[in-house]
Structure 1
Amino acid sequence: MMLRTHRSRTIRTGLHAVLLCLALPLVTPTSAMAQGATVAQPTKAMKDEAATRFKKGLELFKEADYVAALVEFRRAYELVPSWQVLYNIGQVQYQLQDYANSLQSLERYLAEGGRQVPATRRSEVENDLQTLKGRIAFVEITVNVPDAEIVVDDTLVGTSPLGKALTVNAGRRRVGVSREGYQPQTRVVEVASGDTAKASFELLERGAATPATPAPGADSEGDGDASSGRARATAQVDGNSSSRVPWIGWGITGGLAAGAAVFGVLALGASSDLQDLRGTRGVSAADLSAASSKATTMSVVTDALAGAALIAGGVSLYFTLRTPPSDSAGNARASSPGLQLGISPRGAQLVGSF
């Protein structure tokens, strides 16, 4: 807790100094400018915006909103690339426990500031660098194809091939590799402070078959065995599909039979009512005609449903007897004679032995 209070006080002092520098007509040269490289000078509007963003970064830092403060400081550095800004960026990254990027920012601060960095500030930063070096690790990433984008913890760090190992925060790091036309890959790499972990990626072109990993205890005999395995799977699916046909037929048969039974009961009731009306005096001819029509309708529907149930039952029986047995049941039934259904003009015959 005391460390955070000390750093909050230190960073406010540094930011105040940087803000004064940004108000000057010309900013302090960075290392690129010191080497004679041509760098466009920021306009007055850019300086004003950078100063505004620094003030906002200060406010956010005081409120412990370090993520938003870092965004404002980085934006100010883009507008006016002064080396003093790197100190503030590095300190905020330190607070965010982004030790790898904090190390990079503070090293750049000392290198680009050179002799302009006050002795007390240089001593402080050098102590911070020693602490940071004990909290970082390295990851060597290799990819089988060039120009693949490499992402660490959702941040783009470069493209393959990388010239050297990446400096990362110690711990568990999420590494992803992708390239257009290839299947992306992601894995988690765990690396302790000071250690170097290696991560190798073999990207496959889109549409290429992914090598199957056999289950523990499964036989692995090459492509031929894999092909036969796919064939067995297909055959099993087809067999299952065929075996469903008799069950559907028997379901329809049961429904028709149940309907025939219901309408049969209704037909008997209508016939009984008709007989009662015929034995009753004073019944009009219209009532007798209606009762007779109802009884006849019920009888016709019952006969139709019964006939349909009989036909559906015959078809279901035919497919049941014609459906080949499954592999598991086939061996058990191999010694049992089959049944045959014969259809002739005189009727149907079931031939076989049990």
Structure 2
Amino acid sequence: MKPNASSVSVVRSVTRSAIRDVTRHLRGVGLRAAPLALALTFAASGGLRSAHAQSAQTAPAGQPSKAARDEAATRFKKGIDLFKETDYAAALVEFRRAYELAPTWQVLYNIGQVQFQLQDYAGALPTLERYLSEGGRQVPAARRTEVEADIQTLKGRIAFLDVTVNVADADIAVDDTTVGTSPLSKPVTVNAGRRRVAVSREGYTPQSRVVEVASGDTVKASFDLVERGANAASTAGSSGDTGSGDSSVPQTGTGSTSGGSGDSGSNVPWIGWGVTGGLAAGAVVFGVLALGASSDLQDLRGTRGVAASDLQDASSKATTMSVVCDALTGAALIAGGISLYFTLRTPPSDSAASAPRTRPSQATRAPRATWSSASRPQSSGPELQIGISPRGAQVIGSF
């Protein structure tokens, strides 16, 4: 069925009006008007004529249905509107959807030019190459020359990534966009600059890295994926070796554990003396402040006409300083006594070191400050006893 004259006239009128609008807009943004004008001409005239011609019959096999063509025309028009609003990313989505519904080589020009506008040079290059390939002789000579010049420009703005993976069927993505599975048949075309390459496969630990590639260069990126099970087994094996090493140490020897204990014990006096020094310094500072406050209180008491509130404040200050000084002094004495004990503690003799060790729970107990007569070392080394009560601390020792 042929379209009537009135419908064709309306289509041509709409086409000319749309082309004028798009042309004015493209001139304003500095982009050529020809691509969208050409594609719009096809969509509005050729596409609609095809829709009228097949409205009363079923679409041939392999050809888009009338509903698909209508939706494609609607999405194409929406893409034009979005492009006029400079929403290029959304326009690209609509153009691509229109091409999926009703594939026509003319729309590839629109897609490629919008990709160029979005600086997606790696995407624009194959799109424009497909445009020339699928259009063939139908592409006007002037347009072909123009597109070939664009292709040469794009080739100077792209680079290549040669991605290799040690396992097959691994998903490869560049900048969160999947580009294929391993092994790739050829290097991936990418925009020059910093690119994030990610590789993943089920059952393997995924990997990613950022690769910097200059225009025209081919950069190799190799990935060695590790199975998750093998990774866990390796970790378990390391733990098992450590456990076996510990369990094989004879229970009657000191082994490396004794050395570790010695290292730990040798650090305790330094910590203790450091705490003692800090507490002693604080006690000295507050002692000086307490003496000053006490002196001020005595001066006020010897002065006539001093208010009772001033005397009370001075007395309270002197008392506070004295209490803090006493507390710090007591704490310093306790810390000093403990530090002194660990400093002067007699190391075990050779016979004691060669004796069988006690149970692990007993071997790791903190050392006691006193010994019974049966277990007291027979050496003539220093002896120290520490007693702590709510009233204070006592340190008794013989040297």
What TM-score, normalized to structure 2? 0.52
Which segment is superposed worse, 143-152 or 158-167? 143-152
Q: For residue 98 of structure 1, what is the aligned residue in structure 2?
A: 120
Cα separation, partners in 2 of 1:317 and 1:115, compared to 1, 3 Å: same
Q: For residue 43 of structure 2, what is the aligned residue in structure 1?
A: 19
Alignment partner for residue 319 of structure 1, among 342, 362, 365? 342
The letter for the 2-side match of 1:93 is: Q
Which segment is superposed worse, 115-124 or 66-75? 115-124
The letter for the 2-side match of 1:244 is: I
Q: For residue 69 of structure 1, what is the aligned residue in structure 2?
A: 91
Cα separation, partners in 2 of 1:349 and 1:132, compared to 1, 3 Å: same
Aligned-pair CA distance for 1:64? 3.5
Query: Secondary structure, in 3 states, of the residue corresponding to 1:189?
Result: strand
Q: For residue 247 of structure 1, what is the aligned residue in structure 2?
A: 274
Cα deviations across residues 159-178 of structure 1 (Å, max 9, x unaligned)?
21101122223x32414122
Q: For residue 296 of structure 2, what is the aligned residue in structure 1?
A: none
Write the distance in 2 (CA, Å) between the matches of 1:323 and 1:108: 88
CA contact (8 A) 1:250 1:312 kept: no
Q: For residue 163 of structure 1, what is the aligned residue in structure 2?
A: 185
Query: Secondary structure, in 3 states, of the residue corresponding to 2:130?
Result: helix
| Match runs of 1:335-346 below 5 Å | 341-343=382-384
Q: Taking every aligned residue pair, what percent have the same amino acid on both sides? A: 51
Cα separation, partners in 2 of 1:240 and 1:109, compared to 1, 3 Å: farther
Aligned-pair CA distance for 1:105? 0.7
Alignment partner for residue 85 of structure 1, among 107, 111, 125? 107
CA contact (8 A) 1:249 1:315 kept: no
Aligned-pair CA distance for 1:56? 2.6
Cα deviations across residues 278-297 of structure 1 (Å, max 9, x unaligned)?
xxxxxxxxxxxxxxxxxxxx
Cα deviations across residues 260-291 of structure 1 (Å, max 9, x unaligned)?
9999999xxxxxxxxxxxxxxxxxxxxxxxxx
Aligned-pair CA distance for 1:88? 0.6
Aligned-pair CA distance for 1:183? 4.3
Alignment partner for residue 172 of structure 1, among 171, 181, 193? 193
| Match runs of 1:20-59 below 5 Å | 20=44, 21-24=46-49, 39=62, 41-42=64-65, 44=67, 46-59=68-81
Aligned-pair CA distance for 1:86? 0.9
The letter for the 1-side match of 2:158 is: I
Cα separation, partners in 2 of 1:305 and 1:69, compared to 1, 3 Å: closer
Write the distance in 1 (CA, Å) between the matches of 2:113 and 2:326: 92
Aligned-pair CA distance for 1:118? 3.8
Aligned-pair CA distance for 1:60? 2.9
Q: For residue 335 of structure 1, what is the aligned residue in structure 2?
A: none
Alignment partner for residue 396 of structure 2, among 341, 347, 350? 347
CA contact (8 A) 1:100 1:136 kept: yes
Cα separation, partners in 2 of 1:348 and 1:323, compared to 1, 3 Å: closer
Aligned-pair CA distance for 1:203? 3.4
The letter for the 2-side match of 1:190 is: V
The letter for the 2-side match of 1:145 is: V
Question: Does 2:135 correspond to 1:113?
Answer: yes
Query: Secondary structure, in 3 states, of the residue corresponding to 1:23?
Result: helix
Cα separation, partners in 2 of 1:318 and 1:157, compared to 1, 3 Å: same
Cα separation, partners in 2 of 1:10 and 1:321, compared to 1, 3 Å: farther
Query: Secondary structure, in 3 states, of the residue corresponding to 2:32?
Result: helix
Question: Does 2:248 correspond to 1:199?
Answer: no
Cα separation, partners in 2 of 1:189 and 1:262, compared to 1, 3 Å: closer
Structure 1 vs Structure 2 CA RMSD: 4.8
Question: Does 2:209 correspond to 1:186?
Answer: yes
Write the distance in 2 (CA, Å) between the matches of 1:258 and 1:7: 79
CA contact (8 A) 2:174 2:196 kept: yes
CA contact (8 A) 1:103 1:133 kept: yes
Cα separation, partners in 2 of 1:167 and 1:240, compared to 1, 3 Å: farther
CA contact (8 A) 1:318 1:341 kept: no
Aligned residues: 273
Aligned-pair CA distance for 1:76? 2.2
CA contact (8 A) 1:176 1:187 kept: yes
Query: Secondary structure, in 3 states, of the residue corresponding to 2:33?
Result: helix
Cα separation, partners in 2 of 1:307 and 1:130, compared to 1, 3 Å: closer
Write the distance in 1 (CA, Å) between the matches of 2:149 and 2:324: 99
CA contact (8 A) 2:105 2:131 kept: yes
CA contact (8 A) 1:148 1:177 kept: no
Write the distance in 2 (CA, Å) between the matches of 1:86 and 1:250: 81
Alignment partner for residue 148 of structure 2, among 111, 120, 126? 126
Cα separation, partners in 2 of 1:323 and 1:39, compared to 1, 3 Å: farther
Write the distance in 2 (CA, Å) between the matches of 1:239 and 1:205: 43
CA contact (8 A) 1:185 1:203 kept: no
Q: For residue 301 of structure 2, what is the aligned residue in structure 1?
A: none
Q: For residue 310 of structure 2, what is the aligned residue in structure 1?
A: none
What TM-score, normalized to structure 1? 0.58
Cα separation, partners in 2 of 1:245 and 1:125, compared to 1, 3 Å: same
Cα separation, partners in 2 of 1:264 and 1:205, compared to 1, 3 Å: farther
Write the distance in 2 (CA, Å) between the matches of 1:303 and 1:131: 84
Which segment is superposed worse, 82-91 or 147-156? 147-156
Cα separation, partners in 2 of 1:63 and 1:263, compared to 1, 3 Å: closer
CA contact (8 A) 1:152 1:175 kept: yes
